[in-house]
């Protein structure tokens, strides 16, 4: 689907990556970058700023997200892998785009409206706690996308509106300046594998105490898996695999045959939750063992991570600088 296209995606460093992120975002992004003609994958640290006010945390999570991609084998010779804040052109393009973006467009942003609605529900003023970083989030995201002549942005449903706004902004720009300066991107909605459940059965999320970090150490991984909440069915009773957190996780790490076997044993009865948890633990442990070593080795050597990200940023800047020059030329009659 992505052959001959420039695809781009950003990942916000707002927590230690968990198994839900791995299955729902990180693995698909690595696969996409293998398929695409050209891919840009970046850590959206500037996008984290509207919520995270601790530089040490942003740094920690940026390193963790980067180390996760590298440990899992992202091919950084092919993909341009970088940190958003390292490409100076992002700041320039963002300022320029504010002038072709209507306030009304920002008023319609779901991300900002959700916070305003929550404020009202809590009896607070609508704008309470809303900073301009949140309000203008779609402009920064449009700049990310438009800087690199992106054709396609693969996103989950929650980000679709942001990509549509980037289309609108590119369209307005080209219309106002009467020239095809910016490439108008397309969103591609990733088919939603149903959300990976967490330890308590709700969607696994960093916002709940229900997540399992991708690279949890062996003992911690085992302990977490043993804590997965189940009902009280006895081993011989039939169980619905589609309602079982254990099976939901297992199917993403086991081979197809292994997953089919667990599915049948749950459906027919005969497999107890304790044994199923053991199988889940062993399967995840096997699949993350090697990347986990690489991950902790990278975190111990943050200079190695930095080197990879910096060299990615240098590659990213080649296209970014050209785009910014074209934009400056159109708006100011001079290069940047
Ligand atoms: P969180 O819910 O932990 O805050 P984010 O909203 O930051 O996670 O999600 C980052 C990416 O990981 C998104 O692409 C999202 O779709 C994916 N993701 C997060 N949680 C899950 C989950 N439980 N199952 C599948 N994908 C998930
Ligand atoms: N807003 C995205 C998220 O919250 C992250 C992001 C920033 C992004 N810039 C992007 C995604 C550009 C795709 C393209 O997950």
Q: What values do phi and psi take at 251, rounded to 5?
A: -60, -20
Coil vs helix vs strand at 264: helix
Give residue-wise pLDDT tens across range 197-253.
999 999 999 999 999 999 999 999 999 999 999 999 999 999 999 999 999 999 999
DSSP at 203: B
CATH topology of domain 6-195+302-332: Rossmann fold (3.40.50)
Which ligand 1 atom sits nearest the alpha carbon of residue 206? 3
Q: Could you tell me the residue ranges of all domains in the chain?
A: 6-195+302-332, 218-296
Could you give the angle at the alpha carbon of 12 between the alpha carbons of 49 and 152, nearest 5°? 125
Please name the CATH architecture into which domain 218-296 falls: Orthogonal Bundle (1.10)
Alpha-carbon torsion angle 323, 327, 332, 336, nearest 10 = -20
Any residues with Cβ below 6 Å from ligand 1, and which?
12, 14-15, 20-21, 23-25, 156, 195-196, 203-207
> What pLDDT score does 55 carry?
98
Q: What values do phi and psi take at 143, rounded to 5?
A: -60, -40
- For the record, the structure tokens of 129 come out as 């706690």
6-195+302-332 and 218-296 share one fold:
no
The answer, yes or no, to whether residue 190 has pLDDT greater than 90, is no
DSSP at 38: E
Ligand 2 center to 9 CA (angstroms): 6
Please report which confidence band the pLDDT of residue 193 belongs to, taking 50, 70 and 90 as the band edges: low
For a pocket test of ligand 2, which of 6, 12, 206 has the largest count of ligand atoms closer than 8 A to its C-beta?
A: 12
């Amino acid at each position: 689907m992505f052959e001959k296209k420039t695809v781009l995606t950003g990942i916000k460093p707002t927590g230690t990556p968990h198994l839900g992120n791995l299955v729902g975002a990180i693995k698909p992004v690595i696969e996409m970058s293998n398929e695409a003609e050209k891919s840009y994958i970046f850590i959206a640290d500037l996008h984290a700023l509207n919520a995270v006010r601790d530089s040490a945390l942003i740094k920690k999570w940026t390193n963790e997200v980067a180390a996760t991609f590298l440990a899992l084998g992202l091919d950084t010779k092919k993909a341009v892998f970088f940190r958003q804040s390292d490409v100076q052109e992002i700041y320039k393009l963002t300022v320029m785009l504010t002038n072709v973006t209507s306030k009304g467009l920002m008023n319609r942003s779901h991300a900002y409206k959700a916070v305003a609605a929550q404020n009202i529900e809590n009896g607070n003023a609508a704008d309470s706690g809303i900073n301009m970083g949140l309000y203008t989030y779609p402009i920064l995201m449009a700049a990310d996308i438009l800087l690199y002549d992106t054709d396609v942005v693969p996103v989950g449903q929650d980000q679709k509106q942001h990509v549509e706004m980037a289309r609108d902004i590119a369209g307005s720009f080209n219309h106002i300046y009467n020239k095809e300066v910016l490439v108008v991107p397309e969103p591609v909605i990733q088919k939603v594998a149903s959300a990976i459940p967490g330890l308590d059965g709700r969607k696994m999320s960093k916002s709940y105490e229900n997540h399992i970090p991708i690279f949890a150490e062996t003992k911690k991984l085992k302990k977490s898996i043993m804590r997965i909440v189940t009902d009280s069915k006895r081993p011989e009773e039939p169980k619905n695999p589609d309602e079982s957190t254990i099976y939901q996780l297992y199917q993403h790490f086991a081979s197809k045959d292994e997953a089919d076997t667990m599915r049948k044993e749950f459906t027919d009865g005969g497999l107890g939750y304790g044994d199923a948890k053991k199988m889940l633990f062993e399967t995840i442990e096997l699949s993350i063992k090697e990347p986990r070593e690489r991950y902790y080795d990278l975190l111990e050597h943050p200079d190695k991570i930095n080197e990879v990200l910096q060299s990615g940023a240098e590659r990213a800047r080649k296209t970014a600088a050209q785009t910014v020059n074209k934009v400056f030329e159109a708006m100011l009659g001079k290069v940047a």
